[in-house]
Amino acid sequence: MRSIKLVIASLMIMAWAPFGAQAHSMTPGYEKKFAPGDVVNLAYTIKNEYDFPAIYRLEVYDKEGHNLEEGWRVDQETVKLFSGNYKRVRLKIKMDEDVKERKVLVCSVLHKVGYDEKDPTTISRVCSRLWLWR
């Protein structure tokens, strides 16, 4: 009896697995970039892979996972995408003169969903590692 329940549970999980794979993506996933000046210009592509419109916002974290309040700027506060659409977002990160390297996480975060722009019940966050050096 127990083995029958396990088989049924496994079949149910496999049947629902494709629906759990929907999310969003961001490229590049990892970038190591030479930073000759005080400001580094970058571009990331965010793609909405949900079946509904979604709004994303960009966040930047240090390597310990703390949200950086300053030292970076994005060309758009939020990005609204319909299902299957993508958009390039430009990001500027400040690199202080005395700093030889800087490692950060650049993340796109699900902010609002649907045509009525409601708060999402589950928040997806896709991050890209960035290593700046000189």
Q: How far apart are CA 91 and CA 68, in angstroms?
A: 14
pLDDT tens string 29-39:
999 999 999 99
**Average of per-residue pLDDT across 93-101:** 90
How does pLDDT run across 12-30, given as a tens digit for each residue? Answer: 444 444 445 568 999 999 9
In the sheet that holds 125-133, the strands lie side by side as 30-34, 125-133, 101-113, 54-62, 78-81
Residue 109: inside a domain, yes or no? yes
Is 72 inside a domain boundary? Answer: yes
What are the phi and psi torsion angles at 83 (to 5°)? -55, 130
Question: Which residues make beta-bridge pairs with 133?
Answer: 34, 101
* Degrees to nearest 5, angle at CA 96 with 95 and 102: 50
- Of all residues in the chain, the percent with pLDDT exceeding 90 is 72
User: Residue 117 sits in a domain of what CATH number?
Assistant: 2.60.40.10
pLDDT recorded at residue 64: 87
Q: Provide the whole-model pTM.
A: 0.79
Which pLDDT score is estimated for 63? 84
Tell me if 120 is assigned to some domain: yes
Across the chain, mean pLDDT equals: 86
